[in-house]
Each structure stands twice: as structure tokens, then as C-alpha cells.
Structure 1
Amino acid sequence: MLLGRRTECAALDALLKAMRDGRSEALVLLGEAGVGKTALLDYAQQAGGDLKVLRVAGVESEMELPYAALHQLCLPLLDGIDRLPAPQADALATTFGLRAGEASGPFLVGLGLLNLLAEAARERPMLCVVDDAHWLDDASAQVVAFVARRLRAESVLMLLASRRPIASMRGLPELAVQGLAEDAAQQLLSSVVRWPLDDGVRAALLAEARGNPLALLELPLASPDRLAGGFGLLEASELTGRIEENFQRRIAELPADARELLLLAAADSSGDPVLMWRAAAALGLSPEAGSAVQEAELLTIGVRVAFRHPLVRSAVYRVATPDARRRVHRALAEATSREADPDRRAWHLAHASADRNEAVAAELEASADRAQGRGGLSAAGAFLERAAALTGDPVVRAERELAAARYKYHAGAPEGARILLDKVESGPSDDLRAAHVGQLRGHLAFATGRAAEAPVLLLETAQRFEQLDPVLSRETYLDAITYSLLAGRFAGRATVAEVAASAQTAPAPGRSPRAQDLLLDAFAVLYTEGHAKGTRPMQRALDAFRRDELPVTEAMRWLAIAGHGACETWDDVAWEALAELNLRHTRDVGALVMLPVALTQRIAAHLHAGRFAAAAELLEEAEAVAEATGIARPAYDAAAVAAWRGREAEAVGLIQTAEHIAVERSEGIGFTLINYNKAVLHNGLGRFAEARNAAALATASPTESAFASWALSELVEAAVRCGDRTQAAQAVERLARTTTSSTTEWGLGTEARSRALISEGAEADELYREATERLGHSRGTVSLARAHLLHGEWLRMQERGGEAREQLTTAHEMFAAIGAEAFAERTRLELAACGVSVPQSAQQRTVELTDQERQIARRARDGRSNAEIGAELFLSARTIEWHLRKVFNKLGISSRRELRTTLP
């Protein structure tokens, strides 16, 4: 038991026991430098002597090397890669440079690592230790956080130590490591100071150390004159600096060759003693230097090279002169294999260069290409930024800075990208480069919450590109339309109509227009001349996307906005096909950053088709993505599912939160969508005044036309029920501008249903029958059920009871079957008014499965393998196996086949 750490050690013991019992856990140890985090990690490693241990530490100087820490962590497991599912095996092998291939997203890499750990832990439980996690490279940190969140039943314990909270690890269990209590601090100080010490000085030492174990061990070793005076209380950062100063003082007492060997070890994080001694030989250092640093208890040289404490490494590196640093980096570059580790070699060469050096800059540029190929976008940006700093030619330097800015933007570092763009603009002027800068500034504006600025910047850029690069001009116009649609009512002076009008001047596409060219032209006509002229061009564009001839990366860029075009023109056949295609692409490549958008579109299409269970299943996947990535999104999906199901208590809170975030982010389209769903909820509940208010908000801005058009049909129903036929009639005419030209059964059926509500007598009856006929040939199952409900309500008011009962019975059966609880209850009450008694719907009796068990059981029932279920829910196949055993026990069955009869 560590001195003064009974509680912390007990917590680690409990985690180790849970892991040996078959559970997996993760824990982040948080505390200042020297407070004892590394000692606790050592304790866990010693207490888990029977475990397989993987250990790595982040290194400040290598924070920009992509997957550097992750590669070291995984080295002992790499022979098991080929036993993984092929996409995961390819992702890991490509990331670690074991084979050539397409770059994979960090979360597909994470899923591969999760299963790699799970398979290795089948033989022996595993302890993964990550020290100094605050210095992990971004790519490694993201993957480690992903794995830590998804550990369940693999018999893996992951311990991470960090001086400060890490954004990607937010939400993981944490243990705050504080300074030692006074009695423990005195005992530790007494174990170091075995000579007489003045009580005032002892009290001053204890006060300055504030229970920090490393401070208690190191401060007494300072020179006597520093001990004689007493100390004032220091901030934590000053205390860290004082400890480093004491390390530096001890380092200064070493011989010159020992100091240089320490600096050599500090400059390279690989911990490879062979590499270190090869570089040491190039510097003319003798083995005696190694003996000196080990006798000083600052460095251990064995199978790996390890510093006594990370602060020793930083103290060594910071006290060295720039010339001394460059000297050791040059030696390390020469000792590093150009073939086996070209990126690390290039990084050392960069640190060894004091002046402009095009040869080194070119090597760094090649490293950036390799990093990008492995999905290390942040690292690619860092390589190129360093290459630019070493570039003499101002034009080449500006091009490299621009490329670095792009990588930083895609890596989620907008501030770093902005700084680089400022440098580009201060360099040599060039029209094409300036246009590229404007394009990236437009994307940055939206990414940083300035939604109204993005379409303006992109519109200006598209116009600049017209004479410089016609292809980029057209793509930038389409981006500008996309952002103006997203901003909607908050778009300011770049509304979608204004952007579309400008897009009509875009250069003509080539002889064979691409799908995105057709889409741009369609939007330009749709938003300037209306649906009557724009629908047919949109249909041609949608047909081009449905042929699925685009490369996956291009398709993923445009499929979401193409899906919006399908919604604009009431083409639910194309909408469903494009939503399914987009979801398949994002899953196949593991693009989890884009997956939430693809899931949102697919969930909406499922709700439209009355597949509420499928929508809920995808909602579970969306929540798994959010948990796995730690990226929070507005709850549009969850609010929509709850609203369509009619679950008021659940829906209201979700709607309020999502509406607030939409306004905060200036996402007008989100604001419209959430109010449309609110109108659906209240119409289902029969609260027509509330539905009318929500629909009025959703339809207030024509710039959000697709979802606003959907909301118009809600407004018609609510306004009629509130007695305002004038408002309803105006809404029908607005609706007809988009539906009449659609020629789709969904659009024309929705229009007929809405016109029926404001009509009388035989005309109303005819329109209701037209609505049910047309909607019956569409994908809109819920729309069809609602048409039967409205017709039945109208027939009852006309005292045509027999016909009313027929329509209402059909509606009730449909609502009950799909789970539209509010509409089902509204229909039941209408049937009761017709003299038909229908029992109030009760929840189906279900076995007490947890939400996650239910997700897994449904997928197993439908024939998915453990690996496939794990890939969808971002869990290891071993965890899926563990959950299924529990499901079988609860259900009293023994095979997957029996799930088909046990689970409806």
C-alpha cells in the first residue's frame, strides 16, 4: 500500500478484481505534476502481476506524430491484427503503416483496437496504462478515448493519467489525485531528510509542497542555502517549475557526456535503447555516460529507456541550449531508418534545422502525405506547418501553409487553421490562392458557430473562382447553398434565394455534367423560379445520385444535400434511396463525424414510412456514436422519434433542449425541423392551439422551404380545428406551390388531404378519397393513416357513422401497429364517439431487458453476427457475446433461433 494512498489503492484493487471477474473498466487519474499519478499506475501494474500489461506515456515533443503513442501501445498485439474483421484489420494495418490502403477514420481504428484488445484478453486479462495522457498526439487520444468508452466485458482495465482534463475523454470515470494528508506528508519528508532540520524550515517545506509527493522527495535535495530561508506558498504551476529547477540543478552536476545522453533520451520518445546508443555513438558518447545517469537515478536503461519521472524529461529538454537540442535531433535523425520510420526521421530533421532548408521541408511534406493517408489529419497539418517554416520560397511557403490550414480545419482545430490563413494572406498575392483562403474561411465560419457569415464568404469565393477554376466555382456555389439552407432564417444577407440567383451565373459544367453539377443547377432554378420549373431538373439530379457512380468520398460530400433536394420535391422514393446510400457509405468507411447526419436523414425517412422501431434502433446507434466520440449534437433525432410516437413527457424536454441549441447555433433549419415535430406531437395529442403555434413558427421562414412545407400541412389541420379557415386556406395555397409540380403520390396526396380539410360536401369527400388513394401508393404510411383519421372524423361530423367507423378502424389499426400512440388514442376516442369500444392501448408485456440488451437481442434476432452487431453499436464482439448470454438467461432460451419467436 502506498503511503497515504489507502483510498486510491483500494479503488484500483476493486477495478482489478472486477476486471479479473470478466468486466472491463476505465479510469482517468487527474492531478498536478508530481502528485503521485505515476506511482498509482505503478501500484496497479505491480498488483496485477498476473496480467498482460500494455504501457505507454505521452511525450510533449511528439504530440504531432500521428498515432505515435497508439503504435507503441499496440506493438505487442500486432500479430493478432489479421484475426479481426477485414475492415478493422485494414484500418489498423494502414494506420500503423503495415500495408498500403485508404485512410480510415479514427473510430474505425478504435473499433479495431477494441476487438484487438478483446481477443488478446481471452488468453489473459489485460491492463492498459497510459501515463501523461495530456501529451498524447490527437489521433491516439481520440482512439484511446473511444476504446475506454466502449469497454464492457473484455477483461480489460484501462488506466489513464493526466495533469488536466482532456476534451476527448470528457465523461469517463475520474479519480482526483490530491496531495498527501499532513501526517503522510510528514512521514514521506522524514524518509528523505534524515539529518537535523529546523522546525521552521520543515514547516516551510511542508507548506510549499502542499502534500505533493514528488515535491517532498525533491525539494529537500535543493542546495542548503535555499533550505535555510523558508518558502512562500506557490501556485501549482510554480511548484512544478520549482521541482523542474531542482531536477535541472542535479542534471547540471553531471559530466557533460552524461548530460548530453540525457538530452538524447529526452528528445526521442520511442524508448528504444538500440536507437539511443546508435545516436550516442554518432555523438561520440561512451557507455560510461549511461552509468552516470543511472547512478543519479534520473534515467533507467534496460529493455526500454525510461525517465524517473516525466518532469525529468521536460527539465532536461528545457535547460538545453537550442544548439544542443539541434545536435541531438540531428544524431537521432541519422540513427533513424529512412525506410522503417521516415516520419520520425523527418520530425527529428525538422528540429535539427535552424535555418530554411528545402530538403527537410520536402521530407516533412512527404510525411504529411503519409500522415493524411493514415487518417492523421492533425499530424499532417503539423508536418506541413513545420515544412512551411523551413521553406525559403515565399510562394511555396504560402501553398504549404494553406494545405496545413486545410488539414487543421478537418482535424477540428479551427483556431490553428485561422492563424495559418492569416499567414497565407500576408504572403505573396495570388488570386487563386486567395480564393482558396476565402473558401476555407467560409467553412471555418460555420464550424465556429458563425452560421450567418458562412454563406456570404462562400458566395464571394464562388464568384472569385468563376474565372480561376470553374469546377471549384460550381462546388463552392453548392456549398454556399448548403450553408444558407442550414442557416435558414439566420442567414442574414445571403439567403438561399440570393445565393441561388448568383449560382445561375456559375460557369457551365463540362460536356458530361456530374451529379453535383446537376444538383447545383436544379437548386439554382428551384430557389429562383420556384418548384414549377425546378422540380424536373431536381429529379434528373436525384436520378444521377441514385445511380451511385460517384467515388465514395465525393458521394458522402453531396448525398446529404441531395437528400434535401428529394424532400423539397416530395420524392420519398429518392429520399429513402439516398438516405440509405449515404448511411451505407458512412458506415463502410467508419466516418463517425459524418455518420450522425446520415443517421438523422435515415431516421426521418423511417418515421415517414411508419417504421418507428427501425427509427428507434438507429436512434440507439446515434446515441452510441455520441457516447463513443464524446461529441454532443442537438437532440433532433430523439425529439422526432418521441414526438411521432406521441410520448409527450419524453418529447417536450427533448424539443425544448434542441430548440434552444438550434437558436444558439443559428441553425434555422434545425429550428424549423424541431417546431415541425412539435406540431406533429400536438396534433397527435389533439392540442390544436399548441400545434398551430408550433407550425406557424416552423412555416414563418420560406428560406427553410422543405421542412416548412411539411409543417404547412400541420398548420392546415391545426388551424381548421381552431376555427381559422382563412389561415388554413392560405397555408394550403403555399403548400400547393411545392406539391402540385412534384407529380409524386406523397406530394399530391398531402395536398389533397390538406384541401379536403378546407372543403365542404362532396368535394371534401372526393379529396379525402384521393388523399388515401395517393398516399397508399407512397412511402408515407403515417400520412396515409392520418388521412384515414381525418376522413373518419369528417364522416362522423356528417353523421355517416358506418363509413366513419370503417375509416377510423383502419386508422387505429395502422397507428397501433406502427406505435403512433398519441394518434392511436385520438382515433380511439373518435371511435368511441361512433359507438365503437376499443380498449385503451397498453404497453406490451416485455421481459426486463436493459436498453442495451434489447438493442443487441433485436439485431441478433434479425440475423446479424456478433461482429456485425459490435460494429453497429461500437462494442467488441466479446461484449456482444456476453450480453447475449444474459439475454438468453432472462428469456429462458438457449439459441438465437428462439429469439425470433420470443421477441416480436
Structure 2
Amino acid sequence: MSGALSGDMMFTDRVGADEPAKSRPRRPGAQAQRTHSDLLGRQAECAELNRLLEAVRAGESRSLVVRGEAGVGKSTLLEHLTKAASDCRVVGIAGVQSEMELAFAAVHQLCAPLLDRLDSLPEPQRDALGTAFGLRAGPAPDPFLVGLALLNLFAAAAEERPLVCVIDDAQWLDRASAQVLAFVARRLYAESVACVFAVRDFSEEDELSGLPVLDVTGLRDDDARALLSTVILGPLDEQVRDQILTEARGNPLALRELPRDLPSIKLAGGFVASAARTLSGRIEERFQRQLKRLPAPTRQLLLLAAAEPLGDPVLLWRAADLLGVGIAAADAAEDMIDFGDRVRFRHPLVRSAVYRSASLTERQEAHRALAEVTDPKSDPDRRAWHRAQAAVGLDEDVAVELEELASRAQARGGLVAAAAFLERSAQLTGTRELRAERTLAAAQANLQSGAFDHALRLLAAAEAGTLTEMQRARADLLRGQVVFASGAGSDAPPLLLKAAERLESVDLDLARETYMSAWMAALFAGRYAGASDLVEVSRAAGALPPPTAQPPRPIDLALDGLALLVTAGPAAAAPALRRAANVFTGTGVTIEDGLRWGWHAQAAASALWDDDAWRALLVRQVKLAREAGALDQLPIDLGALGTSSVWRGNFAEAASLIAEADAVCEATGSQVAPYTAMLLASFRGNEEQALPLIETTIAEAEAGGQGIAMSYAHWVAAILHNGHGRYNEALAAARRASEETPGLFVSMWALPELIEAASRRENTQLAEETLARLAPITSAGGTDFGLGIEARSRALLSEPDTADDLYREAIGRLGRTHLRPELARAHLLYGEWLRRERRRSEAREQLRTAHEMFTAMGMEAFADRAARELRATGEKARKRTVETTGQLTPQETQIARLVRDGLTNKEIAGRLYLSTRTIEYHLSKVFAKLGITSRNQLGRGAFLHL
């Protein structure tokens, strides 16, 4: 790649003992030899690394983060790992602190020797990796699709021999690479691959959080004393020795470096004052003092090396020649830097000390020289970056270059890099309006990369100046989008509504899109939306002029229908909602529109109680998100599809979707409310699983201002309690779930639960009031689902002659849908009513049907309720159990189901974000546990219901 073949790191590739390692000529110096003292006191750490290698040689995979402060010996431990892995293939990189941020630069360097296997990857993964590396053109790849490609690339390389990936100074990797490598590390299982990171520290929000950690702390006192004795060969006063040991805190680098600046007289008996500075700061200052004693040409050469992130010796010496620095300048820097096939500093703190000790003018001069010698055709990105660092004052030419660099970074999926380039471009821009435009673009890129706080700071900076009306509207929109994306549910609707109103006069199409975003934000906020609730947003959207595009865009149809639903009611909105649903289930919607607005279209189908259209839209959304690698959106789509699957009684499919959503969240580190999991547990009547999920969801929804999640949890609780026949608890939960105004989606789904619970508690008035709310909603769509639910609910409140007909109508209508649980509940309610009417023979027939359906689906609480009613008629329910498929784990069950559905191992690996080799491993376990030998057998007999 051109600019993307870069990065702030060095690269090594070492193969096994039967293949000679790449030679690296070095000057004699402090780094040339490693002695036994380097591993002094590190027996436990070495043993941990050796166990990791043993597991990898046995066919397993391992990830490990080696964490410790600067100088504590992490790099030495990685060298031990590399030597111990002499029978493995070792690839490695080391991050280098730099202001440069080129997307996927580290990943590209790490897998450069593996790219001969690129064509073996599935096409979407191959394209994603090639685009990220600039090897081919295409849409910006999702980082996690790049991660999946890298995972399979590693697995392919490990087929010949185990692969060990060593990433030193991971805290300085470019953000895209860190994200991808962390993804790979979390998805390793059975590929014979090890990923070992060395890092100073990280927080729970960092990419590496959640991986196994080996903490490397200071040496014990006896080991520290032993190491110090190898550094100071002359006389050492006991008090001075104790002071050095106290200052060093067992840090090996400190034990080597701190005594060097002490005169012999102080070592022999002088007093050493304690310093309040951090240890790394003291060591860096020690290097800075050493720098001051060097000749000016040597300092200039070191500064060039510190400013050039690749460690390219050819580039370095060209820049040095441009500045008049000769090769003799390297002689005085031997114990600070190593000039081999790659230029390497003895320690990262040396590089930092060199760069920090230089003046701004000296840094600019170094970057200017590096820009001059960097090829503008083969490496335009790095050249533009160096020019930006060299710029003095405003420079529109460089600003334009950076803007182009940001576009190239975005095309490779490097949003973090693009944000940094755009921000620097804005700083170099002299025109006020253009500076504001670039600052807003930088804020947008930060929003897309998840850097919400920095996006808000850039917005504040842009708004502090003079903005055009369009720019002010865009700033309002960005602020609302940041707030919504960061999870602050109650704050987003008013901000997005304000942005939409401002946009009306400058860009009507964008205004309508913003109203749609505000509508959805208000739906999610629910009771927490305040004055900017669904009613307010819908009124404002409904007053808009007609859309400019003719025929209207799909988004225009969805907005008009949903706004009308709130302001005029279901009956008036039904035709518009139907048009929107039909457009999005057709073939005329682009992939981009489908991904962006398809969620809103499924809301239109749901409002019509049109289960078939709703299901078709959800299936389409999941398919689009899977194929596009939109992993930020996929868990939400999977949760909605899971709700549909549970409602259809397809619990195995729902469990598979839960597992897939969990795999995505585990891979990406994202969190989504466990909608499908708690609904499935409630339908099954499993209180031990359902209640903790419900309680946690309610607490988190209340804290985050997410009214829809709270309503969903209460709806689920109402189903659970109705199943167990606890009607007081069901009534309370259903009332809370149905409180949202207007009664849409989850709140309307809760109405039948409320009617059932209220009728069982003989609260006829509440039940009738609730039925009056339900009937207009279900009637508007005219579907068997809605009308069947309405008939069943109405039967609960009707006189005997009418009730009988209504129950039969409900069973007939629901029998024409795929909603088996709702049909079974209709049989149950009818049977309960017949028993109370003393029509025992007819009651037994209905209750027996209900019991058999509930048992077959695994709805144990409702099955027990039907069994109790059967006993009351004088008949004992027959015990039946759902067929099992052996002792499969949830992941094995999911893989077996996907195999049964006809997916190949590669397709399953892509679906579950695992390597093909891991799928093969799990499938072998499935075959062994089920006693089968072929994939075809998974579709037969007892395995049909996986």
C-alpha cells in the first residue's frame, strides 16, 4: 500500500530452527548482548510464557497481555518467548510513540509475510483486508471484518507450524490496529496461535481489556540487589545502595540507569536526595542529560530517528544528508540507538527523551527534511503527515493535503486517523468558514470512531467562531448524534429536534432524516424524553412540506407513516405504514438505505401487527448487517429478530441468535440489553434466569434514560408472571409496561398481558379500559395476528354466548399465523373458560392441546398451568419432554444448527466471528457427542430440532 504501509513500529519475522532467521547487523552497544541477569527473578513469568507455548504446540490458542511499567523488563520477557518458540513461526511488531496515526499500519506490518495466503480467505474478508491495506479499492471495511480476515490468515499460517505473534509497546499501536488485534485475541480458540501483547497499562475501556494479564512488577529485594551488583563494580556505600533500591522499586532499567549519573564519591558514601518525579520521568531525564553531552550533529541524527516512525535507515540517512549530518555522527550514539536493518532505540524512553528535549523549531526542521525525502507517489500519507508537523503558522497547501489524507484514511476504515488529520488540517486553515467546515468534519469523524468527548470539544471549538446557518444546523445535529450514540437517552431527543428544526430552511432532505433520528431517539427514551417526546417530534415532522424527491425516498415514507401514527392514530396511519413496509421489503431499496433506515421500516410493520412483514424486514436487516460487517448495528438487529423467533416458539433459533449476538458483543466489546435472553427465559418460565436479567435491565435503563428497555423488561415480567399464574405481579408489571403514551410497540404488546391479569383479578374496569386501548391498534392492521389477539382478549370479558365464538375466532386467526405460543395460550384460556362453564369434556380437549403445545416448545410455566387445569377436570396430563441432542454446549448447538441449515464451515466461521479451524474443532466434538459421522446426519431424526 502507499501511505498505509506505515506505522509507528518495527517489524520482525522469525521462523523455526530449520530456517535461518533474518540477520540484523548491529553496532556494538548496550543492546547487542543480553545477559543472564536480564531474566534475574523472572522464573514465574518465564514459566507462564512456557506454558503458553506448550498449549499452542498442543493445538490450542492463547492470548496474553504482559503488563508493567516502563523498564520493568517486558521486552526482555518477549525476547525469552521468541527464543523459546524456536520451533514456531514468530512474527512481531513494536509500537513506537508518535503523533502519526495511519489506519491498520501495525496490522499490515505484522501480517506482511503472511499475505501470500490472502487469496485463501473468503471474498468479503479478502476484500476487507486488501482495502484496509490499500491493496485494492472498495468501500471502507468494518474493523471487525478485517479482524476476522486476520484471524483466518493467522489460522492458515499456523497449519504448517504454530504461530506466535508478539506485539511490544501495544499502547502505541494505531487505534485501528489495536482494535483489530484485540478482536483476534478474543476470538482465538483452536488455531495453534498465540498473541502476546506488552503494554504499560490499560483501563477497562481499552481494547485489550478482558484478555488474560500477566502483571510484571519490580524485582524482589534480593534480586534487585544482585542486579545492582552487576552494574556498580566499585565500592558502594550501604546507605546509597538502599537509597537506589528504594528509588528504583525493583525496576531493572532504573537499577541500571540511575547509578550512572552518580559520581564515584557519592556511590562510595555521599548522600542521594530523593526525587518526587515519577520513575519513568527520572529515567527519561537521565537520557536527556546524556543527550546534552552529545555533539550537535549526533543530537540532530537522533531527532531524525525519533521523528521517523518506521525506522527506515535509507530514509533516515537521506534526511540526514539533506541536513548535512554525516555518518560519523552515529558513533557517539551507539549506546542509545542501534543502526541495523531497522533503526531501533535502546528503549522507548530514549526516543521520547530525544523528541521532547528538542525545541519546536528543531522538530519542524527534522520533519521538513523527512518530508523532502519521502516519495510523494509511493508514500503520500507519511509525506503529508511530516509536512503537517513541519508547518509554521497557517498553510493551506498542507491543510488540503491533510484533508485528502483523511479521505484516504476513511476509505480504509481509519476513522481515528481521519479525525486526527482533519483536526490538524483545521488548525492550519486561515479562512474562517473553511476552518469551521474542517473542524465539523473532524467532529464527525470522532463521532464515527466512538471518541464522543473529543467530538464534543471540537463542536464547542467550532461554535465559538462564526458559523453559517447550515454549519450551525450541522453542529446541532452532530451534538444530538453524539449524545444518542453515547447512550444518554433522555438528552438526545431535544438536541435532534432542535437540529431538525434548524435544518428545515437550509436542507429539507437532511431535515427529514434528522426528524426520523429524533423520532427514534424519542421512542427509545420513552418516558424520559420530556417535552421532546414522540408526540412533539411527530407533530413537527407532520408539519413539514412534502419531500423534494419524487417519488418519495424510502426514509420519507417511513417518517410520514410513523409521524401520522402518533398524531392521528393507527387507522389513519395504516395506509402510509403499509407503503413504507412494502417499499423496504421490496427490491428497490439500496443497501445503504436498508442499513440506515430499515430499522424504522420494521417499526412500521410492527405497528400494524403484521408478523410476516415484520419478520421479513428483520431477516433482511440481519442479512444486510452481516454482509456489510456492521457489527455496531448487528446485535440490535439480532435482538429484534430474536424477539420474533421467541414469539414464534422457535426457541432453538432464538438461542442461536442470542449466541451470535453474544459473540459479536464479546468481539467488539459493546453492550446491548439482553432483550432476547430475558424474553426467552420468561416464555420458558425460567425464573432463575429471567428475573436477574429483568432487574438488571430495568436498573440500567433507568440510569441511562432508556424508557423502551424498561418497558420491554416489564412486558417480559408480565409474561413470566402470567405463565406462573401470579396475576397480581403480572398486573403490576403489565401496567408499567403499557404506560408509554402513545401506546406503541412494547407498550401495545403489554396490553393483552394486562387484560389477562386484570380479568383474573376481577378488575373488570381496568380490563375493559385496556381493551378499549388495544382494539383500535389491532384493528388498524387487519391482520390475523392483531385480530386474533383482540378476539382472545375480548373473550376474557364477554358473556358466555359471545365468549365461545370469540375464543374460536382467536384460535382460528392465530392458527393461521406462525405465532405458536399465542395460539397455545388461546387454547389454554379457552380451556380454562370451558372448565369454569362446567363443559369438562370440551375443556379437556383444549387444555390437552395447550399442554402438548407448551411442552413441545419448552414453555414449562404455561405447561404447568395447563396441567393444573387438566387435573381440575379429572384428567392427569401426560409427561412429555422436549427431545434433547446430547450434552452439547450452547456454542456446539449453534454450530450444529448452522451445519444442519446447510452452511459451510467458512460461512459459519464468518457468522460467529471465529476461525474456520475453530469451527472444525467444535464440529468434531459435536460428532463425537452425538455419535454421528457426517454433516447430513444432523438433519435427521432427533437432531431435526436443534
TM-score when normalising by structure 2: 0.93
| Superposition deviation, residue 887 in structure 1 | 2.4
Could you tell me whether the CA contact under 8 Å between 2:828 and 2:847 is conserved in 1? yes
Could you tell me whether the CA contact under 8 Å between 2:856 and 2:882 is conserved in 1? no
Could you tell me whether the CA contact under 8 Å between 2:188 and 2:914 is conserved in 1? yes
2:801 is the counterpart of 1:762: yes
Q: Which runs of 5+ in 1 are unaligned?
A: none
Q: How does 1:241-640 map onto structure 2 within 5 Å? A: 241-293=281-333, 295=334, 297-510=335-548, 511-640=550-679
2:779 is the counterpart of 1:779: no
What letter is aligned with 1:105? D
Could you tell me whether the CA contact under 8 Å between 1:792 and 1:808 is conserved in 2? yes
Once residues 230 and 721 of structure 1 are traced to their aligned partners in structure 2, the CA distance between those partners, rounded to angstroms, is: 87
My pick for the range that moved more, 858-867 or 459-468, is: 858-867
| Superposition deviation, residue 507 in structure 1 | 2.7
The alignment partner of 1:56 has SS state of strand
2:857 is the counterpart of 1:800: no
What letter is aligned with 1:330? R
Could you tell me whether the CA contact under 8 Å between 1:329 and 1:348 is conserved in 2? yes
String of CA shifts for 1:502-544, please: whole Å, max 9, x gaps.
Answer: 1112231122101110111112211111112112211111111
My pick for the range that moved more, 393-402 or 694-703, is: 694-703
Q: How does 1:671-682 map onto structure 2 within 5 Å? A: 671-682=710-721
What letter is aligned with 1:94? T
Could you tell me whether the CA contact under 8 Å between 1:307 and 1:313 is conserved in 2? yes
| Superposition deviation, residue 825 in structure 1 | 2.0
| Superposition deviation, residue 629 in structure 1 | 1.1
What letter is aligned with 2:755? V
| Superposition deviation, residue 14 in structure 1 | 0.3
What letter is aligned with 1:323? T
2:232 is the counterpart of 1:193: yes
Once residues 453 and 857 of structure 1 are traced to their aligned partners in structure 2, the CA distance between those partners, rounded to angstroms, is: 44
Q: 2:739 aligns with which of 700, 715, 725?
A: 700
Once residues 518 and 890 of structure 1 are traced to their aligned partners in structure 2, the CA distance between those partners, rounded to angstroms, is: 52
Aligned length: 901
The alignment partner of 1:157 has SS state of strand
My pick for the range that moved more, 190-199 or 440-449, is: 440-449
Q: 1:113 to 1:288 in 2, by over 3 A?
A: same
| Superposition deviation, residue 899 in structure 1 | 2.7
The alignment partner of 1:643 has SS state of helix
What letter is aligned with 2:44? T
- Tell me the residue number matched to 1:749: 788
The alignment partner of 2:935 has SS state of coil
Once residues 266 and 112 of structure 2 are traced to their aligned partners in structure 1, the CA distance between those partners, rounded to angstroms, is: 45
Q: 1:78 aligns with which of 82, 104, 115?
A: 115
| Superposition deviation, residue 656 in structure 1 | 0.8
- Tell me the residue number matched to 2:30: none
2:45 is the counterpart of 1:45: no
| Superposition deviation, residue 873 in structure 1 | 1.2
What letter is aligned with 1:353? A
The alignment partner of 2:584 has SS state of helix
| Superposition deviation, residue 647 in structure 1 | 1.2
Could you tell me whether the CA contact under 8 Å between 1:150 and 1:875 is conserved in 2? yes
| Superposition deviation, residue 842 in structure 1 | 4.2
| Superposition deviation, residue 73 in structure 1 | 1.3
- Tell me the residue number matched to 1:104: 141
Q: 1:400 to 1:640 in 2, by over 3 A?
A: same
Q: 1:262 to 1:412 in 2, by over 3 A?
A: same
> Superposition RMSD on alpha carbons, in Å?
1.7
String of CA shifts for 1:193-223, please: whole Å, max 9, x gaps.
Answer: 1111221111110000000111101111114
| Superposition deviation, residue 63 in structure 1 | 5.5
Once residues 124 and 276 of structure 1 are traced to their aligned partners in structure 2, the CA distance between those partners, rounded to angstroms, is: 36
Once residues 739 and 699 of structure 2 are traced to their aligned partners in structure 1, the CA distance between those partners, rounded to angstroms, is: 17
Q: 1:450 to 1:229 in 2, by over 3 A?
A: farther
Could you tell me whether the CA contact under 8 Å between 1:62 and 1:68 is conserved in 2? no
| Superposition deviation, residue 778 in structure 1 | 2.4
Once residues 57 and 134 of structure 2 are traced to their aligned partners in structure 1, the CA distance between those partners, rounded to angstroms, is: 34
My pick for the range that moved more, 365-374 or 696-705, is: 696-705
| Superposition deviation, residue 566 in structure 1 | 1.6
Could you tell me whether the CA contact under 8 Å between 2:558 and 2:601 is conserved in 1? yes
Q: 1:843 to 1:555 in 2, by over 3 A?
A: closer
What letter is aligned with 1:782? P
My pick for the range that moved more, 801-810 or 125-134, is: 801-810
| Superposition deviation, residue 113 in structure 1 | 0.4
Could you tell me whether the CA contact under 8 Å between 1:69 and 1:140 is conserved in 2? yes
String of CA shifts for 1:138-188, please: whole Å, max 9, x gaps.
Answer: 211111110000001111111111111152221111111110000000011
| Superposition deviation, residue 725 in structure 1 | 1.4
Could you tell me whether the CA contact under 8 Å between 1:672 and 1:704 is conserved in 2? no
Could you tell me whether the CA contact under 8 Å between 1:20 and 1:155 is conserved in 2? yes
My pick for the range that moved more, 832-841 or 455-464, is: 832-841
| Superposition deviation, residue 830 in structure 1 | 1.9
| Superposition deviation, residue 62 in structure 1 | 4.3
Once residues 292 and 318 of structure 1 are traced to their aligned partners in structure 2, the CA distance between those partners, rounded to angstroms, is: 20
2:918 is the counterpart of 1:879: yes
| Superposition deviation, residue 288 in structure 1 | 2.3
My pick for the range that moved more, 811-820 or 128-137, is: 811-820
Once residues 891 and 125 of structure 1 are traced to their aligned partners in structure 2, the CA distance between those partners, rounded to angstroms, is: 30
My pick for the range that moved more, 13-22 or 821-830, is: 821-830
Could you tell me whether the CA contact under 8 Å between 1:828 and 1:840 is conserved in 2? no
| Superposition deviation, residue 895 in structure 1 | 2.0
Could you tell me whether the CA contact under 8 Å between 1:337 and 1:345 is conserved in 2? yes
Q: 1:704 to 1:410 in 2, by over 3 A?
A: farther
Once residues 586 and 65 of structure 2 are traced to their aligned partners in structure 1, the CA distance between those partners, rounded to angstroms, is: 48
Once residues 703 and 64 of structure 1 are traced to their aligned partners in structure 2, the CA distance between those partners, rounded to angstroms, is: 48
2:848 is the counterpart of 1:809: yes
What letter is aligned with 1:567? S
What letter is aligned with 2:66? L
| Superposition deviation, residue 230 in structure 1 | 4.2
Q: How does 1:677-756 map onto structure 2 within 5 Å? A: 677-703=716-742, 705-756=744-795
Once residues 76 and 597 of structure 1 are traced to their aligned partners in structure 2, the CA distance between those partners, rounded to angstroms, is: 37
Once residues 470 and 637 of structure 2 are traced to their aligned partners in structure 1, the CA distance between those partners, rounded to angstroms, is: 33
Q: How does 1:785-864 map onto structure 2 within 5 Å? A: 785-842=824-881, 844-864=883-903
| Superposition deviation, residue 248 in structure 1 | 1.5
| Superposition deviation, residue 831 in structure 1 | 2.1
Once residues 644 and 859 of structure 2 are traced to their aligned partners in structure 1, the CA distance between those partners, rounded to angstroms, is: 15
Q: 1:753 to 1:145 in 2, by over 3 A?
A: same
TM-score when normalising by structure 1: 0.97
Q: 2:48 aligns with which of 1, 11, 16?
A: 11
| Superposition deviation, residue 126 in structure 1 | 1.0
| Superposition deviation, residue 752 in structure 1 | 0.7
The alignment partner of 1:898 has SS state of helix
Q: Which runs of 5+ in 2 are unaligned?
A: 1-35
Could you tell me whether the CA contact under 8 Å between 2:583 and 2:589 is conserved in 1? no
What letter is aligned with 2:176? A
What letter is aligned with 1:456? P
Could you tell me whether the CA contact under 8 Å between 2:791 and 2:806 is conserved in 1? yes
String of CA shifts for 1:812-865, please: whole Å, max 9, x gaps.
Answer: 222222222222222222222223322344464542233322222222233221
